[in-house]
């Protein structure tokens, strides 16, 4: 005769390392990674889409600022992947807790954890695929990734508030409270945490070379190696992808609109005072690389068109379509002596893929705003 199974979960979990202490130990590093990712992501968002009152206040210095913050954004996101997996492993018995709902508050708490887990997985998954420029989904990456970042942060703050007693206990050794555990788990927990730390170190070291040029040789897994690309610099969007060809550039002139509009041929631009700057391209997708640029100061071009010291600029590229065809530049960027309409890269004329005949290079700005194949400049 078969006895009916008692009600309850189909599987029994042992508590070994699936305890609050392990979850908290991993959780604080995961929390730190998410905090860095969120702060640098919001910063990147406002640099790319500043509200009107902010546009002229965005600073053009330090010139390496965006390279650092966006490098941190992608690195902290990558480091969060093994941390999130370890955290989910540590807590998964609780995800199958029985009975599934004990009270209204308990139901709400579980719902918020479900939102947190789903949103966190979504952010890391979409962010990681974005670094590979692979978009196997029907929505637009940037606005959705930005919106879900707020969902993760809200759910995370709620989670920390709900779990605060356990987190506090973790840091107050005198009162271990619910964290008291059989001593035998101690060394095992250390091994587990060591393994997680090693995994974080490994994924970081094998990808961070995409922005830390000195670690370029360890850069095994990042999608773009800064060591590759024409003229010593990677290319994100090629001229072919933007449908810019040598033929389409025949008779090219730079048009500058303003109170005193004018147009210049490439030879006339070359005859103007040339300046050389060393500035990085820092792509939002995580790679960055410094290069030597030579060209004409944007502020000189604006001034010649009648733009005063408060002038801002709008830059229009030659490509027919694309999200980065039109770019606005706040006052501090437009007036910075480092901001160039570059004609040369690392000592050679720009290649077509790097924006020939002329491109923008400005300090402390996302790569998407370093407009290539410039056709028109407007004083705003």
Ligand X SMILES: Nc1nc2c(c(=O)[nH]1)N[C@H]1C(S)=C(S)[C@@H](COP(=O)(O)O)O[C@H]1N2
Binding site for ligand X (CB under 6 A): 233-237, 242, 281, 283, 317, 319, 322, 324, 354-355, 367-368, 370-373
Residue with smaller CB distance to ligand X, 57 or 243: 243
Lookup: tokens for 238 = 């090629």
CB of 323 to ligand X, least distance (A): 7
The CA distance from 74 to 286, in Å, is 6
Query: Considering CB distances under 5 to 8 angstroms, the limit depending on partner class, which of Mo ion, ligand X, none binds residue 234?
Result: ligand X
User: Nearer to Mo ion by C-beta: 252 or 324?
Assistant: 324
Distances (CA, A) of 152 to 58, 92, 112, 157, 257: 27, 19, 10, 9, 44
Residues with Cβ within 8 Å of residue 186, at least 6 apart in sequence = none
**Contact between residue 334 and residue 59 where contact means Cβ atoms under 8 Å apart:** no
Q: Which residues contact 55 (CB under 8 A, 6 or more apart)?
A: 312, 328, 330, 331
Alpha carbon distance 259, 308 (integer Å): 10
Beta carbons within 8 Å of 61's beta carbon, 6+ residues apart: 336, 363, 364
Min separation Cβ 285 and ligand X, Å: 7
Nearer to Mo ion, 122 or 324 (CB): 324
203 or 368: whose CB is closer to Mo ion? 368
Residue 67 interacts with which of ligand X, Mo ion, none, CB < 5 to 8 Å by class: none
Kindly list the residues in this chain that would bind Mo ion in the complex (CB under 5 A): 236, 283, 367-368
For residue 349, give the nearest of 247, 231, 257 by alpha carbon.
231
Q: Which is nearer to Mo ion, 24 or 236 (CB)?
A: 236
What is the smallest separation between the CB atom of 324 and ligand X, expressed in angstroms?
A: 4
- 219 touches, from ligand X, Mo ion, none (C-beta below 5 to 8 Å by class): none
Which residue, 262 or 324, is less far from ligand X as judged by CB? 324
CB of 138 to Mo ion, least distance (A): 22
Binding at 361: pick from ligand X, Mo ion, none (beta carbon under 5-8 Å per type) = none
DSSP secondary structure string, 32-72? HHHHHHHHHHHHHHHHHS--HHHHTT----STTHHHHHHHH
Q: Which residues contact 71 (CB under 8 A, 6 or more apart)?
A: 208, 211, 212, 282, 286, 288
**Strands 326-329 and 340-345, bridge-based pairing:** unpaired
Smallest separation (angstroms) from ligand X to the CB of 11: 48
Residue 110 or 376: which CB sits closer to ligand X? 376
User: With CB cut-offs between 5 and 8 Å by kind, which of Mo ion, ligand X, none does residue 371 bind?
Assistant: ligand X
- Least distance between Mo ion and beta carbon 350 (Å): 17
Q: How far is the CB of 317 from ligand X (least distance, A)?
A: 3
- Spatial separation of the C-alpha atoms in residues 54 and 42, rounded to whole Å: 14
Q: Tell me whether residue 88 or residue 142 sits nearer to ligand X (CB atom).
A: 142
The residue among 283 and 334 lying less far from ligand X, judged by its C-beta, is: 283
Q: Residue 84: which of Mo ion, ligand X, none does it interact with, CB under 5 to 8 A by kind?
A: none
Q: Which does 354 bind (CB under 5 to 8 A by kind): Mo ion, ligand X, none?
A: ligand X
Quote the least distance from Cβ 237 to ligand X, whole Å: 4
| C-beta neighbour count of 31 within 10 angstroms | 19
Q: How far is the CB of 283 from Mo ion (least distance, A)?
A: 3
Nearest residue to ligand X, scored by beta-carbon proximity: 367
Q: Which of 195, 200, 151, 9 is nearest to 92 (CA)?
A: 9
Provide φ and ψ at 342, rounded to 5°: -80, 140
Residue with nearest beta carbon to Mo ion? 283
User: Residue 350 binds what, of Mo ion, ligand X, none (CB under 5 to 8 Å, by partner type)?
Assistant: none
Partner interacting with residue 254 (select from Mo ion, ligand X, none; CB below 5-8 Å by kind): none
CB neighbours (10 Å) of residue 7? 7
């Amino acid at each position: 005769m078969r006895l009916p199974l008692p009600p309850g979960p189909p599987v029994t979990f042992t508590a070994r390392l699936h305890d609050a202490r392990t979850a908290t130990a991993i959780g604080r590093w995961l929390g730190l990674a998410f905090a860095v990712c969120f702060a640098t992501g919001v910063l990147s968002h406002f640099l790319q889409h500043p509200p009107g009152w902010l546009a002229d206040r965005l600073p053009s210095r330090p010139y390496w600022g965006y390279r650092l913050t966006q490098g941190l954004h992608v690195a902290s996101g990558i480091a969060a992947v093994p941390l999130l997996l370890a955290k989910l492993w540590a807590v998964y018995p609780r995800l199958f807790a029985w009975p599934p709902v004990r009270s209204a508050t308990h139901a709400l708490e579980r719902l918020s954890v479900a939102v947190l887990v789903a949103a966190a997985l979504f952010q890391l998954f979409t962010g990681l695929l974005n670094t590979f420029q692979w978009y196997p989904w029907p929505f637009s990456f940037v606005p959705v990734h930005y919106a879900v970042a707020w969902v993760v942060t809200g759910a995370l703050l709620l989670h920390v508030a709900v779990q605060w007693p356990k987190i506090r206990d973790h840091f107050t050794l005198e009162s271990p409270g619910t964290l008291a555990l059989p001593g035998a788990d101690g060394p095992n927990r250390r091994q587990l945490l060591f393994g997680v730390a090693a995994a974080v170190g490994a994924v970081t070291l094998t990808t961070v070379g995409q922005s830390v040029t000195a670690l370029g040789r360890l850069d095994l897994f990042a999608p773009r190696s800064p060591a590759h690309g024409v003229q010593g610099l990677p290319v994100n969007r090629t001229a072919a992808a933007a449908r810019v060809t040598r033929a389409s550039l025949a008779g090219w002139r730079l048009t500058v609109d303003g109170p005193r509009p004018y147009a210049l041929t490439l030879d006339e631009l070359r005859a103007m005072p040339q300046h050389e700057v060393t500035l990085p391209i820092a792509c939002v997708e995580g790679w960055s690389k410094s290069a030597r640029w030579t060209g004409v100061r944007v502020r000189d071009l604006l001034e010649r068109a009648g733009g005063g010291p408060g002038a801002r600029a709008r830059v229009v590229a030659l490509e027919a379509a694309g999200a980065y065809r039109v770019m606005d530049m706040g006052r501090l960027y437009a007036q910075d002596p480092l901001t160039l309409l570059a004609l040369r890269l690392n000592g050679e004329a720009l290649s077509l893929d790097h924006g020939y005949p002329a491109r923008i290079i400005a300090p402390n700005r996302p790569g998407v705003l370093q407009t290539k194949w410039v056709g028109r400049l407007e004083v705003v």
